[in-house]
Chain A
Amino acid sequence: ETGVTQTPRHLVMGMTNKKSLKCEQHLGHNAMYWYKQSAKKPLELMFVYSLEERVENNSVPSRFSPECPNSSHLFLHLHTLQPEDSALYLCASSQDMGLGYTFGSGTRLTVV
């Protein structure tokens, strides 16, 4: 158990579907992150939440919509995705955007 739990582990969705990815941490951290990991590319930071407020949005298309209802939960709402959005989506948390990040095991997303 890593302390950061992501569900679902795998997701296959059509381009017209709407789905959500969930991330949960019970480490007492107050910053949470979404990263996209594609093959042969560096991890791409998508969104950062600190104290439940979004502090960064790295030019992510609007078909990705994050939500952080409290310091323990982070969602990524997906709609009308494209096949190139297929990737591993990793959630992480840290204390005060501090030293180490604790990562979840990711959601493997396939858009068909």
Chain B
Amino acid sequence: AQTVTQSQPEMSVQEAETVTLSCTYDTSESDYYLFWYKQPPSRQMILVIRQEAYKQQNATENRFSVNFQKAAKSFSLKISDSQLGDAAMYFCAYRSMTNYGGSQGNLIFGKGTKLSVKP
């Protein structure tokens, strides 16, 4: 079974600085999707960025980018020019592409990293 590990329960960054959140995963599959979700105090999970495993190019969404190392099974999130509104829980998630049925089609989450942004 696939697992997702986020080794940093909490992180802190100064406003306007850059921070990197770590995520590693375990899988025997070659095709899959990886995601970063943000959960602010409002509790709604918001998709931040998505990476397809078959793409070598790292995904980028404005100030958010990933460092995807497939061989190392690592998927870190870099937030540039951090803003106060970036403060939230960040969850890394894995989804198999193998099929759409059963657990292989579902999102598997890490425990999350709580990010604080200091003004």
B54 close to chain A: CB less than 8 A: no
Distance in Å: Cβ of A63 to nearest Cβ of chain B? 22
Q: Tell whether B109 is near chain A: CB-to-CB under 8 Å.
A: yes
Query: Is there an interface contact between B44 and A103, defined as CB atoms closer than 8 Å?
Result: yes
Complex CA distance for A55 and B100, rounded to whole angstroms: 10
Contact B35–A100 (Cβ < 8 Å) = yes
- Asked if B106 and A105 make an inter-chain contact with CB atoms under 8 angstroms apart, the answer reads no
Shortest distance between the CB of B7 and any CB in chain A (Å)? 13
Interface string of A79-109 (1 = CB under 8 A from B): 0000000001010100011111101111010
CB distance from A78 to the nearest CB of B (A): 19
The yes or no answer to A42 lying at the interface (CB within 8 A) is: yes
Shortest Cβ distance from A25 into chain B, in angstroms? 13
> Is A27 an interface position by the 8 A CB rule?
no
Q: Pull 29 A–B residue pairs with CB atoms less than 8 Å apart, ordered by A.
A: A33-B106, A40-B111, A42-B4, A42-B108, A42-B109, A42-B110, A42-B111, A42-B112, A43-B91, A45-B103, A45-B107, A48-B105, A50-B101, A55-B101, A56-B102, A88-B43, A92-B107, A97-B100, A97-B101, A97-B105, A97-B106, A99-B95, A101-B47, A103-B37, A103-B45, A103-B46, A104-B44, A105-B43, A106-B44
| Extra inter-chain contacts (6) besides given A42-B109, A45-B106, A100-B35, CB under 8 Å | A40-B111, A42-B4, A45-B108, A55-B102, A58-B103, A98-B100
| B residues lining the A interface (CB < 8 Å) | 4, 9, 33, 35, 37, 42-47, 50, 91, 95, 100-103, 105-112
